[in-house]
Structures are given as structure tokens and as C-alpha cells.
Amino acid sequence: MPEAAPLLYIENLHARIEDKQILNGVNLTVNLGEVHALMGPNGSGKSTLSNVLMGHPKYIVTAGRVLLEGEDLLEMSADERARKGVFLAFQAPMSIPGVPVVSFLRTAMKSVRGVDVPIREFRKELRAQMSALQMNDQFISRYVNEGFSGGEKKRFEILQMAMLQPRLIVMDEIDSGLDIDAIRVVSEGVNRLVGPERGVLAITHYQRLLDYITPDHVHVLVGGRIVRSGGKELAHELEAEGYDRIIKETQPEEVPA
């Protein structure tokens, strides 16, 4: 691969779910070391974009391309993408009854890293990450997301992220349903992962997450396309004025391709 290939390159991405066209030409580039925030009102296509990036079979890409460090991401199944270093922190992660957190994590690590991590090393790493996220030891024997509170689910997503050490982190409304304390713990977990070896795309409805996770770039998604991009000041502007003005400004656009 040429050295210059960006971590994530999205070009003219169109996607639908069932008969509903949702993404109408998204263009976005995320480089290693960068944190991007993608903001937008409800129904703008934020969750669709995250699902398309992870490869959810229900979402059909109708045009455009997505490259991960130069490789065609859309050709890959969800598990292949995970093994290539894509991680999606879910807004509403599924519970898997009867599967203990610890064996789930170990299997995921083995799958993503391609080698079995020795159990002692694994435990040590797990313990360190859990204490950083203020999670107690009993957590590991609970079943995946079964009976977890909203905050526990989000922490567990961050824990997985920390253990799997992905290249591209996509977070779908990781702040939804969290109180300020939980947002802080979760954000600190994310911030520990930010660095030159990975890139972050944080999808959020509200600006408040960006008080804790500082983006290098902010994009506004409306009607399935990015209508504005800017620095972190754009988030503050949105906070002050809401989405309405941007929606109005960008409404009279040409018909999507």
C-alpha cells in the first residue's frame, strides 16, 4: 500500500436500508492520529454510517467506496473488518445470554489479534483496563450485556475497545443515556486510546461529549451527507444555535445522485 493511504477514506457513499435511501453521498477522510466528530440531528444517517462502516448486512451500499488504508472495506464481512482493525462501539450493544464477559473478550482478542493471548497476560491486561474504567472484578463473570445498566454497557464497549486495540474506532452515540460522571469515565477511556497509531470517528447528537473528547475536525451530517466541516469551534456553534440554521442553509441542494 502506498504510504499516503489515509486510515479511512469515504467517497460519495450512498446506502439504504430496505427501501429507504439514507446516505446520499458522504465524503470523509480520517487520518491516523486524528479525532473526528460527526454530528447531526436525528434521522440524518449517523447510525447508518456507523453500521455501513462495520458491515451490517441489512444496510446496502448503493454507490461510492470506502477504503481502509487503501483496502476496499466494502468487500469485507464484518468479522474481516474487525480483524483489519475496525471497531464499532455500539449505541445499543446486544446481550449474549450465557456467555461470560471473560470468555467473550478472550475469543474476540484471539480472533482480532490472530493469536491466543496467554491467559495470565490476558488477565493482567484485563484487570488493568477494568480498573481504569472503574469496573469491579465480578464484572468478568457476568454474561455479555445481560442485565447491564446503560453505563455498564458503554463501559464494556470501551473495555473491548481497549483490549482489541483497533486502528479505526467508530463510536455511535457512546454518550447517550450517560450521566456526567459516566461520560467522563468513558471519555477518559477513549482518550487513553487516542494516538498516532489510530483514528477516531465519534458520532454524537450532542456537543457535551466533545467537552471531554476533543476533536480535530467536526462534521455535520444532514440528510445523509456532510453539509459542513470545520474545527472544534463548529461544535460550539451548533451548541449555541442548534441544527436548524444549518439545515435551512443547506436545504436547497441539488437532488442526490
Partner 1 sequence: MSSTDVNVSDEYQYGFSDPEQFVFKSRRGLDIEVVRDISRMKNEPEWMTEFRVKALGYFDKRPMPAWLANPALDDLDFENIFYYLRSTEKQATDWNDVPDDIKNTFDRLGIPDAERKFLAGVTAQYESEVVYHSIRADLEKLGVVFTDMDTGLREYPDIVKKYFGTIIPPNDNKFAALNSAVWSGGSFVWIPAGVRVEIPLQAYFRINAENMGQFERTLIIAEPGSFIHYIEGCTAPTYSSDSLHSAVVELIALEGAHIRYTTIQNWSKNVYNLVTKRAVAHKNATVEWVDGNLGSKLTVKYPAIYLVGEGARGEVLSVAFAGKDQHQDAGAKIIHAAPNTTSTITSKSISKDGGRTTYRGLLKVYEGCEGVKSNVRCDALLLDDQSRSDTYPTMEIDENNVEIGHEASVSKVGEEQLFYLMSRGLTEEEATMMIVNGFFEPFTKELPMEYAVELNRLLAVEMEGSIG
For partner 1, the binding residues (CB under 8 A) are 54-58, 77-79, 81-83, 87-88, 90, 93-94, 96-99, 104, 107-108, 111-112, 143-144, 160, 164
Q: Measured from the CB atom, is 60 or 180 closer to partner 1?
A: 60
Min. distance of Cβ 82 from partner 1 in angstroms?
Answer: 4
Q: Measured from the CB atom, is 69 or 157 closer to partner 1?
A: 157
Residue 17: burial class (beta carbons within 10 Å; 0-12, 13-18, 19+): middle
Min. distance of Cβ 125 from partner 1 in angstroms?
Answer: 16
- How many Cβ atoms are within 10 Å of 20's Cβ, its own excluded? 8
Q: Measured from the CB atom, is 41 or 93 closer to partner 1?
A: 93
Min. distance of Cβ 110 from partner 1 in angstroms?
Answer: 8
Q: Measured from the CB atom, is 104 or 122 closer to partner 1?
A: 104
Min. distance of Cβ 112 from partner 1 in angstroms?
Answer: 4
Q: Measured from the CB atom, is 30 or 88 closer to partner 1?
A: 88
Min. distance of Cβ 55 from partner 1 in angstroms?
Answer: 8
